[in-house]
Amino acid sequence: MPHPHPTRAWDGQRQPIPTTTRRRILRSSPTCGLSYPGVCEGTPRVVDHRVGVADARAAGWDPADIDDPANLHAVCDACHALKTAAEQARGRARAQAARPKARPKPPHPGLRP
């Protein structure tokens, strides 16, 4: 099956976390690793990067460390969704900051002498 987002640069060169690793982390985690107050559903269902992939890359992490089990934990869907939204917001802010400054607009032709 083709990858749904083959052109996402940050997704390139990454292998998915092996199923065995995911299962082991979920099995060994009775509670959500994030436990955001008022959000958490309690039961972990997904394996999440403690430091998100994009954040870790922006911080110059070695790719091997990003997917290391030490950077993975089991979290519930609700906490994961909240954390992902925050990570995406940071990613957008980084993209915005990295964008070259827009050139000053030439004056409107009607305003030229």
Residues lying near Zn ion in the complex (CB under 5 A) are found at: 32, 34, 40, 76, 79
For the bound state, the minimum distance from the C-beta of residue 5 to Zn ion, rounded and expressed in Å, comes to 26
Q: Which is nearer to Zn ion, 40 or 72 (CB)?
A: 40
For the bound state, the minimum distance from the C-beta of residue 21 to Zn ion, rounded and expressed in Å, comes to 20
Instruction: Kindly report the backbone phi and psi dihedral angles of residue 69, in degrees, each rounded to the nearest multiple of 5, phi listed first.
Output: -55, -25
Q: Work out the number of other CB atoms within 10 angstroms of the CB of residue 52.
A: 19
Q: Which is nearer to Zn ion, 36 or 61 (CB)?
A: 36
Computed on alpha carbons and rounded to an integer, the radius of gyration of the chain in Å comes to 20
For the bound state, the minimum distance from the C-beta of residue 94 to Zn ion, rounded and expressed in Å, comes to 26
Task: Pick left, alpha or beta for residue 60 (phi over 0 → left; psi -120 to 50 → alpha; otherwise beta).
Answer: left
Q: Which is nearer to Zn ion, 41 or 55 (CB)?
A: 41
Which single residue is written with the structure tokens 């957008």? 92
